[in-house]
């Protein structure tokens, strides 16, 4: 049984080309789901292409779709926080705009939330690698595994994959976590899970199907910044910012 009230947040930066297929797929999926409330929030992170216009065209025919605009290009973490705090659903999923984790995988997150009484459930590529149908380039995949090792050492979190862009939050958890989030870049995933841990919120990692999609927005510089963000998470904790 699907969770009754759902918001889907899609951070988008220059996604004019990929967004129509993503919105079509999500709308098709939601059309067959029995929920009392659904909305799709596309958060435009200062795109320089026609991303916002694509969303406006869809809004004309799909009232469930809302466009949120960031004040310039602020980063994926900022976009996700913006969407989470503006969302109205009892449960709030953020998914990458390329749907590298198919939207149907939300059912696994919902099932884990119900059965394990969790307020945060999140997709993982590491718990069952057989579910990864298209892998990232070898160098990026190895970098991701190294990042996870460093992340676990620095933060103490036990999770195997914090960076999969497919995470579900209950309204109560989203309100606590995203108001405390400090990072706007790619380190925000770790920060959010770290805040959940510090706040005593139950978070469950769930294996999901995943396929790499070409056209990643993660640059080498962004990847390196994610490592330094781990130290910022610890520093922010010492400063008492996650209380």
Domain ranges of the chain: 5-238
Q: What is the pLDDT of residue 53?
A: 98
For the entire predicted model, the pTM comes to 0.94
Q: What is the pLDDT of residue 36?
A: 87
DSSP 135: P
CA distances from 106 to 25, 34, 99, 209 (A): 13, 14, 11, 10
Q: What does the alpha-carbon distance between residue 148 and residue 160 come to, in Å, rounded to a whole number?
A: 7
The widest CA-to-CA distance across the chain, in whole angstroms, is 48
Q: What is the pLDDT of residue 61?
A: 93
Residue 161's contacts (CB-CB under 8 Å, 6 or more residues apart) are 123, 124, 125, 126, 127, 144, 148, 205
DSSP 136: P
Per-residue pLDDT of the chain in tens (243 residues, 90 and over written 9)? 567 899 999 999 999 999 999 999 999 999 977 788 999 999 999 999 999 999 999 999 999 999 999 999 999 999 999 999 999 999 999 999 999 999 999 999 999 999 999 999 999 999 999 999 999 999 999 999 999 999 999 999 999 999 999 999 999 999 999 999 999 998 999 999 999 999 999 999 999 999 999 865 555 556 678 899 999 999 999 999 999
User: Quick one: which of 122, 117, 71 has its CA closest to 96?
Assistant: 122
Q: What is the pLDDT of residue 218?
A: 55
Residue 125's contacts (CB-CB under 8 Å, 6 or more residues apart) are 131, 132, 161, 164, 207, 208, 210
Query: For 75-170, where are the alpha helices, taking DSSP H only?
Result: 76-86, 106-116, 138-155
Partners of 206 in the β-ladder: 123
Q: What is the pLDDT of residue 195?
A: 98
CATH class of 5-238: alpha beta
């Amino acid at each position: 049984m699907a969770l009754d009230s759902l918001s889907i947040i899609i951070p988008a930066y220059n996604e004019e080309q990929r967004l129509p297929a993503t919105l079509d797929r999500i709308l098709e999926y939601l059309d067959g789901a029995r929920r009392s409330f659904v909305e799709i929030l596309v958060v435009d992170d200062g795109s320089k292409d026609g991303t916002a216009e694509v969303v406006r065209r869809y809004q004309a025919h799909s009232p469930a779709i809302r466009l949120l605009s960031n004040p310039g290009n602020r980063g994926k973490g900022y976009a996700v926080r913006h969407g989470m705090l503006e969302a109205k659903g009892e449960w709030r999923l953020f998914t990458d705009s390329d749907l590298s984790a198919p939207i149907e995988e939300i059912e696994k997150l919902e099932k884990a939330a119900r059965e394990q009484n969790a307020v945060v459930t999140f997709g993982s590529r590491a718990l069952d690698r057989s579910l990864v149908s298209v892998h990232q380039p070898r160098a990026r995949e190895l970098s991701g595994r190294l990042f996870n090792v460093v992340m676990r050492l620095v933060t103490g979190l036990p999770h195997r994959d914090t960076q999969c862009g497919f995470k579900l939050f209950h309204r109560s958890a989203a309100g606590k976590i995203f108001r405390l989030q400090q990072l706007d870049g790619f380190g925000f995933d770790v920060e959010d899970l770290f805040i959940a841990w510090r706040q005593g919120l139950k978070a469950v990692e769930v294996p999901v199907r995943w396929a790499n999609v070409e056209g990643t927005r993660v640059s080498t510089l962004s990847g390196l910044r994610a490592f330094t963000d781990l130290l910022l998470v610890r520093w922010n904790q010492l400063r008492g910012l996650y209380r």
